[in-house]
Amino acid sequence: MSNTHIIGIFDSKSDLLAGIEGAQSKNFTIDEIYTPYPVMEAIDALKRKSRFTTAAFIYGAAAVVGVLSFLYWTSVIDWPINYGGKPTNAFPSFIIITLVLTILTITILSLFTFSIRARIYPGKKYILPDERATDDKFVILFNKATAGGGFEAISKTLKASGASEVYEKEL
């Protein structure tokens, strides 16, 4: 597949959104959008979905069961201690430590999930179409081979929506 990409540069969020709308109305396939801050409308336009919160909930549920089982095992089975005749399965006093260990588990696993799913980790080789995307520009990226239109057609549509530059680049 060709590595030639068409890159549209916008100066503002409103122009970017107009550009996305224009490109999608002409059935051009957008490969990716790069923005200096999170733009929810752009994420929605590309129909990106994340199951991050569901994953976090599953980690939490597993941690609650795991921690309570561990506490039961240490306090009742492995090494029961008689504190003034109190029951060894002292459930109410397990609640706080369960809560805190659950939070610790969710934190650690969520960080790994983020790193794996968003592919953000130390030493990563990255491709950034235009370096101004982390400063002040909003960038729409099309893969020329799969965009569904040529440079001229895409350029005309993006410029009509307010793009400040449109150019081709090998990535």
Partner 1 sequence: MYKAEVRGPLILGNKDYHQITSDIIAPIDNKTPGWWKVALAISLTMASFGIFALYYTVRYGLGTWAVNNSVAWGWEIINFVWWIGIGHAGTAFSIFLLILRQKWRTSINRAAEAMTVFAVGCAAIFPAIHMGRVWLAFYIFPYPNTRGPLWVNFNSPLFWDFIAISAYLLISASFWYFGMVPDFASIRDRAKTKLKKAIYGFLAFGWTGSTKEWLRYEGLSYVLGGIAAVLVVSVHSIVSTDFASSVIPGWHSTLFPPYFVVGAIFSGFGMVMTLMIVIRKYYHLEDYVTDSHLNAIAKILVFISLIMGTAYATEVFIAWYSGNPYEMFTFFHNRITGDYSFMFWAMVTCNAIIPQLMWSKKIRSNITALFIISLIINVGMWYERFNIVVTSLSKDYLPSSWTTYSPTWVEIGIYIGTIGIFTTGVLFFFRFVPMIAISEVKSVLKPTEITEKH
Q: What's the min distance (Å) between Cβ of 47 and partner 1?
A: 10
- Using the rule CB under 8 A, is 170 a contact of partner 1? no
| φ, ψ dihedrals at 2, nearest 5° | -65, 145
Which residues inside 16-45 make contact with partner 1, applying CB under 8 A? Answer: 32-39, 42-43
E-assigned strand segments in the chain: 4-10, 32-34, 138-143, 165-170
* Residue placing its CB nearer to partner 1 in the complex, 139 or 154: 139
Distance CA 52, CA 39 (A): 18
- Using the rule CB under 8 A, is 143 a contact of partner 1? no
How open is the CA angle 118-145-28, to the nearest 5 degrees?
A: 75
Asked whether the beta carbons of 41 and 33 are under 8 A apart, the reply is no
Choose the binding region for partner 1 from 1-9, 21-29, 96-104, 146-154 (rule: CB under 8 A).
96-104
- Using the rule CB under 8 A, is 145 a contact of partner 1? no
- Using the rule CB under 8 A, is 82 a contact of partner 1? no
Distance CA 54, CA 38 (A): 21
Q: What's the min distance (Å) between Cβ of 89 and partner 1?
A: 11
Number of continuous H segments (helices) and E segments (strands) in the chain: 5, 4
- The dihedral sign for the CA sequence 117, 42, 46, 9: negative
Distance CA 171, CA 160 (A): 25
Which residues inside 108-137 make contact with partner 1, applying CB under 8 A? Answer: 108, 110-111, 114-115, 117-128, 131-136
- Using the rule CB under 8 A, is 146 a contact of partner 1? no
- Residues engaged in binding partner 1 (CB under 8 A): 11-15, 32-39, 42-43, 46, 48-50, 52-53, 56, 60, 71, 74-75, 78-79, 83, 90, 93-94, 96-97, 99-101, 103-104, 106-108, 110-111, 114-115, 117-128, 131-136, 162
